[in-house]
Amino acid sequence: MTSSTLDQILSELYEIDPDLRAHEQELLPILKKMLAHKPHAEPDEAFVQKLRMILQEKTSMAPQRGASSFFSFFTIQPFNYAITGAVLGAIITGPLVYTFVQNGGQMTLPPSDGDEQTALFSYKVEETGNQAFGDLSSLPVNDAYGRGGGGGVGMPAEMARPQSGGGGGDMSVGMDQKMMIAPEMTEYRLKFEGELPALSQQQVEILKRQKGTSAADMATIMRSINIGLVDVESFPNAKTDMISFYQDTPYGYMVTVSFRDGSVSLNANWEQWPHPESKCQDEACYRRFMLSMDDVPADADVIEIAEKFVKDHGIDLTNFGPAEVDNLWRKNYEIATNKAEFYVPDTVRVVYPMLAEGKPVYDEGGSKAGISIGVSIREKKVSDAWGMMDQKYLKSSYPGVTDPSLITKYLENFGLMPRDWMPAGTTMKTVDITLGTPEMGFMKLYTYDNAVPEELIVPALIFPVTNVPAGEYFYRNTIAVPLAADLLGKMNQPMPVEPYPMPLMMEDQPAPVEE
């Protein structure tokens, strides 16, 4: 509640009865008290999603257009939430059969009876027992973004090997650049001097994304297609892995639906998009097509392009927040010493942040996870989109982090480099990164049990990065700390000691001198 709200109410009152102005000192505390002690009335996110699902099912099952019985579908009276929910839940989870037919050489989804179509990929959370995903402390988690992370170890852009992706800018090479030398490394010390919120959750609820649950039966899909070279029906119990289709028209796309992964992604159909710079044979030509910062559209324009694309292609934004432009790449520009030579990316990314219980979900790199849409700066069109996923989850309870020392330990060790396996002669520079007051959110973690990546959505404390020393590069905006005790315990374990990869040699340079 803001003071302007109070002012508004008071001014309305005075307008009605000017005499009340003389009693402002009496009215103000009453109004403040009334407003401040309004009961907390935020709906539970699980309820929000459940009701949304029920409504969506009702709308999707109703005849959509032109049917005479348009509204006769809605006949549940008197309303019984539990029964309706159960019935509709059964409809949602019931067996789904999808049939593709051959139509003039094109594969199309046939209209189902009454134009009804139930979404194959959708949002659903199914409760399971406690600790249903096994022992989290034994799960291999992706540690690549964890300790030691932050700025990474890279080379100044002008020194990087072309195939190294441009480098990060933290490893400087001194003395004779033709020699392979021990690097100067940078480590990041996280400074959090605030107070942690009360850690009162004995149990936290973790979501695990279910993959492959919507895999369509291959034979059903392929039955009507005579491939000729092989009898597809000779492979019993086969599931469809992937379907790709493309537009063979200017600025067309290639779309891939992965049933196994439960995801949809799309990319520009390369052949159908202009790439004049790819025909360049000399430096002058390349420079002519180099993008400059002036070419980068304003964020609002980028979002407008993405929004139109989302609308035009019916991308489902259920459980995703409003579009945000990912401007992390601009940090590189800010610290670049030679801005004229700075490589401006071809695409700017727009993210629709994934939400859990209404709060954003962060990936392991501290960025908001979600649907990512690339907008081509040259063409002012969407060039790719990914992160559209089947959102079927299992939910299970695990012990929560109640000991704040686990969090401080994680932060303390987060960006520091273990010294014991550094190459001889390495010099270490320590950069202090300041963190602000954390907020509750969620973190998307990947585990690699059985070599298959699994996605967990875990309640987490999200620490914003509030200060990075001038001239330093730290690629994160936030640090996410999972609040599941077993997971955090696992991440607090010492990193396995392994040889630090030797620095790459520059092309066309002599081999290192043996000492």
Footprint of another protein (CB under 8 A):
1-3, 5-6, 9, 12-13, 16-17, 20, 23, 26-27, 29-44, 47-48, 51-52, 54-56, 58-60, 62, 64-67, 70-71, 74, 76, 79, 81, 84, 304, 307, 318, 322
**Minimum CB separation from another protein for residue 27, in Å?**
6
Long-range contacts of 75-80 (CB under 8 A, 24+ apart): none
For the four alpha carbons of 306, 312, 313 and 314, in that order, the dihedral sign comes to: positive
Smaller CB separation from another protein, 51 or 290: 51
Minimum distance, C-beta of residue 52 to another protein, in the bound complex (Å) = 6
134 CB-near residues (< 8 Å, 6+ apart): 449
Task: Choose among 383, 490, 506: nearest CA to 143.
Answer: 490
CB of 52 or CB of 161, closer to another protein: 52
Question: Shortest approach of another protein to residue 122 CB, angstroms?
Answer: 13
The least CB distance from residue 66 to another protein, in Å, is 7
Of the candidates 144, 174, 146, the one whose C-alpha atom is nearest the C-alpha of residue 159 is 174
Q: Judge whether 169 and 332 are in contact, CB under 8 Å.
A: yes
If residue 463 lies in a helix (H) or strand (E), which one and from where to where? strand 454-467
Closest separation between CB of residue 8 and another protein, Å?
Answer: 8
Q: Output 80 or 467, the one with its CB closest to another protein.
A: 80
Minimum Å gap between C-beta 179 and another protein is: 57
User: Which string of DSSP letters, residue by residue, matches 33-98?
Assistant: HHHHTPPP-PPPHHHHHHHHHHHHHHHHHS--SS-TTTTTT----S--HHHHHHHHHHHHHS----
Two tokens, residue 116: 């009804």
Which is closer to another protein, CB of 27 or CB of 255?
27
Minimum CB distance to another protein, residue 357 (Å): 14
Nearer to another protein, 65 or 419 (CB): 65
> Prior bond to 423 cis, omega within 30?
no
CB of 5 to another protein, least distance (A): 6
CB of 295 to another protein, least distance (A): 24
Q: Between 112 and 467, whose beta carbon lies closer to another protein? A: 112
| CB atoms closer than 10 angstroms to residue 467 | 12
Cβ nearer to another protein, comparing 73 with 251: 73
**Closer CB to another protein, 41 or 340, in the complex:** 41
Nearer to another protein, 321 or 399 (CB): 321
Backbone angles phi, psi at 90, to 5 degrees: -65, -40
Tokens of 283: 């430096």
Closest CA to 421 of 148, 224, 135, 196: 148
What is the CB neighbour count within 10 angstroms for residue 212? 15
- State the nearest-atom distance from the C-beta of 55 to another protein, in Å: 6
Q: For another protein, which is the closer residue by CB, 34 or 86?
A: 34
The full 3-state SS of 372-428, as one line of letters, equals EEEEECCCCEEEEEEEEECEEEEEEEEEECCCHHHHHHHHHHHCCCCCCCCCCCCEE
Give the integer Cα–Cα distance in Å for 417 and 189: 10
| Beta carbon of residue 360, minimum distance to another protein (angstroms, whole number) | 16
**Minimum CB distance to another protein smaller for 27 or for 179:** 27
Give the DSSP H or E segment for 371: strand 370-376
Q: Which amino acid, one-letter code, is at 337?
A: T
